[in-house]
Structure 1
Amino acid sequence: MEILLKNVRWNINDQMLAGDIRIARGMIDAVSDQIAPEKGEIVLEFSGHFVYPGLINAHDHLEMNLYPRLGSPPHASYVDWSRSIYKPDQSPVREIEKVDKQDRLLWGGIKNLISGVTTVAHHNPWDRTFEKDLFPVNVVKKMTWAHSLAFGKNITSDFPKDASTPFIIHAAEGTDADAFEEIKKLDALGVLKSNTVLVHGIALHDADLTLIKARNASIVWCPASNLFMFDKTAAIKKLKDFALIGLGTDSTMTGSPTLLHEMLVAAQTPEATRNEIYAMVTDSGASILKMPRPLLAPRQPANLFVAPALKENYVDNLFCITPADIGATILNGVLRSVDASVSSEQKFCKNTFSIDGQVKRTDVPVAELKKRIEKKAGAKILEQNPLWRLVEV
Structure 2
Amino acid sequence: MQSILPRAKVLVPSLRVIGQTRSATSLGLGIQRPTPRVGSPSVARFGAFSQLTWPPSLTLARQLPTKYGGVYSVTLIPGDGIGKEITQSVEEIFEHLNVPVEFERFDISGATSQDAALFKRSMDSLRRNKVGLKGILYTPVERSGHTSWNVAMRQQLDIYASVVLCKSVPGFPTRHRDVDFAIIRENTEGEYSGLEHQVSAAWHLGAFRLTPDRLTSSLSSLQSSPGVVESLKIMTRAKSERIARFAFDFAIKNNRKTVTCVHKANIMKLGDGLFLNTCRQVAEEYKDSGIKFNDMIVDNASMQACSRPQQFDVMVLPNLYGSILGNIGAATVGGPGIVPGANIGRDYALFEPGCRHVAKDIEGQDVANPSAMILSATMMLRHLGLDHHANQIAAAVYKVIADGTVKTPDMGGKGKTTEFTAAVLKAVA
If each structure's strand is expressed as a fraction of its own residues, which one has the higher value?
1
TM-score (normalizing by structure 1)? 0.27
In proportion to residue count, which structure has more helix?
A: 2
**TM-score, scaled relative to structure 2:** 0.26
Whose radius of gyration is greater, 1 or 2? 2
